[in-house]
Amino acid sequence: GAGVSQSPRYKVAKRGQDVALRCDPISGHVSLFWYQQALGQGPEFLTYFQNEAQLDKSGLPSDRFFAERPEGSVSTLKIQRTQQEDSAVYLCASSFAGSYEQYFGPGTRLTVT
Partner 1 sequence: GENVEQHPSTLSVQEGDSAVIKCTYSDSASNYFPWYKQELGKRPQLIIDIRSNVGEKKDQRIAVTLNKTAKHFSLHITETQPEDSAVYFCAVGGGYQKVTFGIGTKLQVIP
Nearer to partner 1, 71 or 101 (CB): 101
Q: Which of 17, 54, 87, 102 binds partner 1 (CB under 8 A)?
A: 102
The contact pattern for partner 1, residues 78-97, with x = CB under 8 A and - = no contact, is -------------x---x--
Asked if residue 2 binds partner 1 (CB under 8 A), the reply is no
The binding track of 5-44 with respect to partner 1, each residue x by CB under 8 A or -, is --------------------------x-x-x----xxxxx
Taking Cα atoms as reference points, which of 32, 64, 61, 34 lies closest to residue 47? 34
End-to-end CA distance of the chain: 37
